[in-house]
A and B are shown apart, each in its own frame.
Chain A
């Protein structure tokens, strides 16, 4: 079974802090994704990565950056956290051209 893990289930940070959200997958998938999930808005794509050191902006990249130094790991970075970034963050991975995304359990981030 594909396993996607996220470093924290719950995180509380202060406004202005730099925040790192880590995602690791164990199935050698090239494609990885970061989404945020908000009530009434569904899932919105922040960034995705085709492969190591490759990244593309999604629909809502403002205020975020990403890092993909190793194939199995995809990090989401909030350079200066703001209260409007309070959300559930979901990581996913997929084989290139594959149909199914495999999701991690999510990190619920609260920015105070």
Chain B
């Protein structure tokens, strides 16, 4: 069974400071990893994904994430946080060679609060 853990329910960071939102995963096989963002009263929006290749993935709105196979992590980062980054962030995993429907498993979400 595959699983995703987001160990922090909430992350607070001052505007202009770097931010990190943590994600670890557990799968059998090679994972596809995703980050989605949800702004208040909105659906989820795709931010970035890791499929293969370079471990550092760049996405929308200046976000990036680093795939670390040995630590089974895929932390989301941004060098300088904006107040508008305040939202709920979800990490997700899919195993492409698992056969049948390739289920996507989502984490429980981390609320990012950027303080002016």
Q: Which of B66-101 contact A (CB under 8 A)?
A: 90, 94, 101
Q: Which residues of B contact A40 (CB under 8 A)?
A: 9, 108
- Give A41 Cβ to nearest chain B Cβ, in Å: 6
B108 touches A41 (CB 8 A): yes
B106 touches A42 (CB 8 A): yes
A4 touches B43 (CB 8 A): yes
Chain B interface residue count: which class?
A: 20 to 34
Q: Which residues of A contact B104 (CB under 8 A)?
A: 45, 101
Interface presence of A84 (CB below 8 A):
no
Q: Please pick, from B43, B51, B109, the residue contacting A42 in the complex, using a CB distance under 8 A.
A: B109
B106 touches A102 (CB 8 A): no
Interface size, chain A (Cβ < 8 Å) = 21
Beyond A99-B32, A100-B49, A101-B46, is A43–B90 a contact (Cβ under 8 Å)?
A: yes
Q: Please pick, from A41, A45, A106, the residue contacting B103 in the complex, using a CB distance under 8 A.
A: A45
- Give B53 Cβ to nearest chain A Cβ, in Å: 14
A56 touches B101 (CB 8 A): yes
Q: Which residues of A contact B49 (CB under 8 A)?
A: 99-100
Beyond A103-B45, A106-B42, is A48–B101 a contact (Cβ under 8 Å)?
A: yes
What are 12 contact pairs spanning A and B, CB under 8 A? A4-B43, A42-B106, A43-B90, A50-B101, A56-B101, A90-B43, A92-B43, A101-B44, A104-B43, A105-B41, A106-B42, A106-B43
Binding site for A on B (CB under 8 A): 9, 32, 34, 36, 41-46, 49, 51, 90, 94, 101, 103-104, 106-109
Binding site for B on A (CB under 8 A): 4, 9, 35, 40-43, 45, 48, 50, 56, 90, 92, 99-106
